[in-house]
Structure 1
Amino acid sequence: MKNKDKLSVQTQAALSELSKKILHVEEFKEYTKSNILCPFEVACLVAKKASVIIADYHHILSPSIREHLMERINKDLSECIIIIDEAHNLPSRCRELLSTQLSTISIDIAIKEAESTGFKDIGSSIKYIKDAFEKLSNLKLNKDTRECLITKTDLLVEISKFIDTDQLINDLFFIGEKIKEIKKRSACTHIANFLINWQGPDEGFSRILKLNRTDRGKELLTLNYNCLDPALITKILAEMSHSIICMSGTLTPLDMYKDLFGFEAVTADFKNPFPHFNKLSIIVPDTTTKFTARSQDMYKKIAVYCSSIVNEIPGNSAIFFPSYELRDRINFYIQNLCIKTTFLEVPNMSKDEKSELIDKFKSYKNSGAVLLGASSGNFGEGIDIEDNILKCVIVVGVPLDRPDLETQELIRYYDNKFGKGWDYGYIMPAIIKCLQNAGRCIRSENDRGVIIFLDQRYIWDSYFKCFPKDSNLRITKEPIKRIKEFFENKENILS
């Protein structure tokens, strides 16, 4: 790209051409690769003269990535206005970024890395970490207790009985550099970084030891250092940048996000610009996916409701479930009750696979088809199905996080800090997922559609109060009548 510190003629020509266009990232990559240029290097050169830069969360949230990026593009964060779209995801993204985990699988891989590079003595040192894991597991876990809180010193004391921790970290980084000459990533480097992070602060974090099993039934120990406080990132970001604008269609309640982000902000809540009579929102409180109520009879009852509703819809529908497992259990009955073609979302779909599935789904816009997915899956949010092709969304159950130790610690932390642990750490994240699912239906002022929330918990006060004030929710155990009336009268202003 450069010739004696000067840009090559080919690079200069590409920059001139790109300055006249706004390209999608895939188009940008295709253009640069076709000109035998590095997409990243060219993107940095283009960004130097750009007034607006679109990037992934990590480019700004990660201190190391942010620092490197700003240096490469000759920008100063203090002169940047950061606009964060879909900001309802910001708390979890920040927590994920500052969280780390280590498993016995990673340790086994690291041992092999050390031995394969001729450093068996370091491989033996790495085994001390696994020994520490197993000793902590024997002391604190059993068949009834599969996870527990541990302290920083619990691990460090066990390791230090055999080897100096700092020396071990240096050895791991050394092996990691050797491995990176062969492949991109190293388990040794991962362990070294984990041990450094593990020595970090206690406030705003939890330390959890878990015992699980792999798909093959082998025991798997993981040690988790989980961040509980997104403000550890957002507060610093607000102080360093010129200003931050956080926006989302589900940034509700605003006071909660002010608390979570940890910086002073001016808030603005805008009314939905779409005609309210174009949407029928119904709560059907006759079923539940609550764990204690799950049974084959309940699955069949949910399937009957879902099938009767989508069979009545003049077009395509989407049904979102709390998990793929529940989706599959209920779909067992839906297949015999639904008269329309069904499409099943699968986990970890590639971009091409998602596009192909959506294109097929759209092709049924006249006869109608049903997409069955998970609330937190590929299509639960962030996808636009335009031209009113999607006429109905059913949200089955409440997509609550598993009430495991990590969730309990999040609730406890928010309770201590804000006095609202149950709302901030458990209920609101689930309601926001529901609202994102529901938002797939109405994408323009001309779209008309039906939103169904199918679970009795939605009428409980602790859940119902979380819906936006303009939700205009109806409660009925006979949704078909309402749906027929809605689609028969296009000018119907709901009462």
Structure 2
Amino acid sequence: MDAELRKVLTLDNLLDHFPWQQHPEIRPNQREALELIAKNGSMALELPTGSGKTVVGYTVLRTLADANMGPLFYVTLNKTLVDEVRKMHPDMIEVYGRNEYDCLYYQPEETLKADEIPCVSLLDCSHRVDQETGLTVGDAASPCPYYTARYRAKQSQIVVCTASFYLFTHLFAKNADQPAGLVIDEAHEMANIVRNSLSYEITDYHLKQAVKVLKAIGADEEAGQLQYFLTTMIDILNRKSWVIPTLLEEVELQILIDALKGIDGSKLQSRLAEAIREGLIDTRKERVMLKRLESITFDLHRYVRAFEFSLPGEGRNPLNFVTYAEGKRSRDNGGRVEYRLIIKAYYVAPLVKKLMPPLTVAYSATIGDAEIFGYETGIKLPFASLPGNFPSSNTLVLMPKDTPDLAAAKRIKAEPTKVLRRTARICMSLGEKDIRSLVVVISNKERESFLRICAEEGIEAISYLNGSTPKEAMARFKSGEGQVLVGTVANYGQGIDLPGEMAPVVFFLRPGYPNPKDPTTQFEVHRFGKGQCWQVWKWRAMIEALQVRGRNVRSSNDRGATIFISQGFRGFLHASLPLWLKESYRGDLTLEQAKGEILELLK
């Protein structure tokens, strides 16, 4: 921590900026967190769910803001969490990703989001907001909601935003100001967010359409270069198996890189802009194709870099990997085969590190092994795991001794169905006493099986189906509908709150270890070896388990239990628990006895 930060971030100064009006008493772990920040500056903190992490982050940013240090960012997973933080602290300015803002250019003919339109190519858009003045390009035009939000963010002291917004505005935007302070909430997810944001898909269909458009505007040279890359891609993929997604070999990657490097992305962009100005492309009629073409031209340099990072470099292993997948299109489109290249980022730690200013506070309820956390996320800071404010007597972590191991290599064929039925009957028994449950599974196949069993057993189960979304199903359950809420860990494993004994019992079916046939798994094994991979896979499973456990105990008044069904949890569950939670663990009961313990807890 430099001298200026050390002068500002004293404990007394931090406590002076604690929001005492909202929170008349500071919790012990909040004070301890502020003491650590005053001592060390940047910190990675493991703070239990409901312990007031947001207030800690806000206090740090507010302290910096009042010292005229900025810009300052509070980064979290999604719009819902952004809104929660903004509601708690109204002096923050919220900004979301482009997918949350309407585009005014195509209205009233079409209602579209900003991420669905070829924004850069809309040269005549009067709604665009000058980021220096805040004024629209066109007189009396309604300002673009997205660019207005970006402008407001630039003018504010503290911005709360999604991680993807922060990533793109600070990694790819030109002349982005270096933040003076950054708070990262749910920091364990940072690597996945960056990986997903930096993954690209190239299809033969879109490349063919781009070639067609380029020829139509007279850009024959550029069209020929793109056609060469397309022909090269199809030639490589025609040699691959079409059964499952497959990793490309190093020699194939090098061939694709050589084909891409022949394309001048800047020249493509210039030809496209010139054609639009001359009216050769109708920005309204050709919206979809223009968006695709824009993606290709503007992402071209990223494709090249992504391909290059998929090969070993001097002194390093591959950082990305490239897979391909194919699928037959519908009969309406002639049943043609679609070729797809999918470029996925993997080792994103250096990028995350690049995004972190000198003062960064990262926290999560689930960090676990700080070394693996740092390797995965790039957030390598002084680490502390702080105790919860909740009495451990208010919660149970139950690992029944009479359930099977549901790992694919170990389970007997009928075991998953049998244990799902046992789980359903426990849910019914609890429901008869007005105790509702959340059941979290790994796959949609398991979810559908459990829902079918619930129907057979006469249990009112709520889930997302027939067009309803996970969010809508959650809202129905929160309103009091149903005995059981059912969903996959991807939808209900984190980011949802069921406080006040809304669902005091949570069942988690099995650990979500990776599919050995998945290209990501293949890449990890190839890059690290299976032994080292298992350490990371186990850490991810631990984080997932701890996140699921935290869905129903959100305050010191909540009481709740989590039952981990598969014996696959037994090898790591107790070790993964924070010290304050270990005494809540029971691994010596049958499933029926676990139900009895729950009834005793909740009576």
Smaller-chain TM-score range? 0.7 to 0.9
Amino acid at match of 2:509: V
Question: Is the partner of 1:236 in helix, strand or coil?
Answer: helix
Distance 1:83 1:278 in 2: 30
Is 2:316 aligned against 1:197?
A: no
Distance 1:22 1:170 in 2: 38
**Which residue in the other structure is 2:3 paired with?**
none
Amino acid at match of 2:255: V
Cα gap change, 1:454/1:220 in structure 2, threshold over 3 Å: closer, same or farther?
Answer: farther
Question: Is the partner of 1:222 in helix, strand or coil?
Answer: strand
**1:318 CA drift (Å):** 1.1
**1:190 CA drift (Å):** 3.0
Is 2:463 aligned against 1:344?
A: yes
Structure 1 residues 45-82: Cα deviation after superposition (integer angstroms, max 9, x where no partner): 543553321011123323656745x75xxxx42x5210
Structure 1 residues 106-152: Cα deviation after superposition (integer angstroms, max 9, x where no partner): 3344345446657677556534333222321234x23677513323x
Is 2:417 aligned against 1:300?
A: yes
Cα gap change, 1:306/1:180 in structure 2, threshold over 3 Å: closer, same or farther?
Answer: farther
**Which residue in the other structure is 2:561 paired with?**
450
Distance 1:106 1:114 in 2: 12
Listed as ranges, the matches of 1:129-278 within 5 Å are 129-139=229-239, 141-142=240-241, 146-151=245-250, 154-155=252-253, 157=255, 165-167=261-263, 169=265, 172-173=268-269, 177=273, 178=276, 181-182=283-284, 183=287, 186-192=291-297, 193-194=299-300, 195-198=303-306, 200-201=308-309, 202=311, 203-214=317-328, 216=330, 219-238=337-356, 241-262=357-378, 264-278=380-394
Amino acid at match of 2:459: K
Question: Is the partner of 1:441 in helix, strand or coil?
Answer: coil
**Which residue in the other structure is 1:80 paired with?**
180
Partners of 2:321 and 2:345 within 8 A in 1: no
Unpaired runs of 5+ in structure 1?
1-18
Structure 1 residues 408-447: Cα deviation after superposition (integer angstroms, max 9, x where no partner): 323554569xx843222x2222332222222111111111
**Which residue in the other structure is 1:408 paired with?**
522
Distance 1:180 1:291 in 2: 54
Question: Is the partner of 1:82 in helix, strand or coil?
Answer: strand
Partners of 2:460 and 2:484 within 8 A in 1: yes
- Report how many residues are paired: 447
Cα gap change, 1:262/1:146 in structure 2, threshold over 3 Å: closer, same or farther?
Answer: closer
Partners of 2:203 and 2:341 within 8 A in 1: yes
Cα gap change, 1:252/1:308 in structure 2, threshold over 3 Å: closer, same or farther?
Answer: same
Partners of 2:199 and 2:342 within 8 A in 1: yes
Cα gap change, 1:334/1:176 in structure 2, threshold over 3 Å: closer, same or farther?
Answer: farther
Distance 1:159 1:48 in 2: 38
Is 2:540 aligned against 1:434?
A: no
Distance 1:83 1:298 in 2: 45
Partners of 2:417 and 2:449 within 8 A in 1: no
Q: What RMSD in Å do the two structures reach over aligned CA positions? A: 3.8
Is 2:168 aligned against 1:62?
A: yes
Partners of 2:94 and 2:159 within 8 A in 1: no
Distance 1:126 1:115 in 2: 11
The counterpart of 1:103, out of the listed 174, 195, 203, is 203
Q: Which segment is superposed worse, 100-109 or 242-251? A: 100-109
Distance 2:521 2:437 in 1: 32
Distance 2:600 2:94 in 1: 41
**1:315 CA drift (Å):** 2.4
**1:381 CA drift (Å):** 1.2
Distance 1:168 1:20 in 2: 46
> Please, what TM-score do these two structures have when normalized by structure 2?
0.64
Unpaired runs of 5+ in structure 2?
1-88, 103-126, 128-140, 312-316
Distance 1:186 1:159 in 2: 23
Partners of 2:525 and 2:533 within 8 A in 1: yes
Q: Which segment is superposed worse, 476-485 or 228-237? A: 476-485
Partners of 1:278 and 1:447 within 8 A in 2: yes
Cα gap change, 1:371/1:129 in structure 2, threshold over 3 Å: closer, same or farther?
Answer: same
Cα gap change, 1:490/1:298 in structure 2, threshold over 3 Å: closer, same or farther?
Answer: closer
Partners of 2:306 and 2:320 within 8 A in 1: no
Is 2:484 aligned against 1:370?
A: yes
Partners of 2:463 and 2:486 within 8 A in 1: yes
Is 2:566 aligned against 1:459?
A: no
Partners of 2:454 and 2:461 within 8 A in 1: no
**1:246 CA drift (Å):** 0.8
Distance 1:246 1:296 in 2: 43
**1:20 CA drift (Å):** 8.2
> Please, what TM-score do these two structures have when normalized by structure 1?
0.77
Amino acid at match of 1:150: E
Distance 1:109 1:246 in 2: 44
**Which residue in the other structure is 1:389 paired with?**
502
Structure 1 residues 450-472: Cα deviation after superposition (integer angstroms, max 9, x where no partner): 201111211235x6544444343
Question: Is the partner of 2:238 in helix, strand or coil?
Answer: helix
Cα gap change, 1:372/1:198 in structure 2, threshold over 3 Å: closer, same or farther?
Answer: same
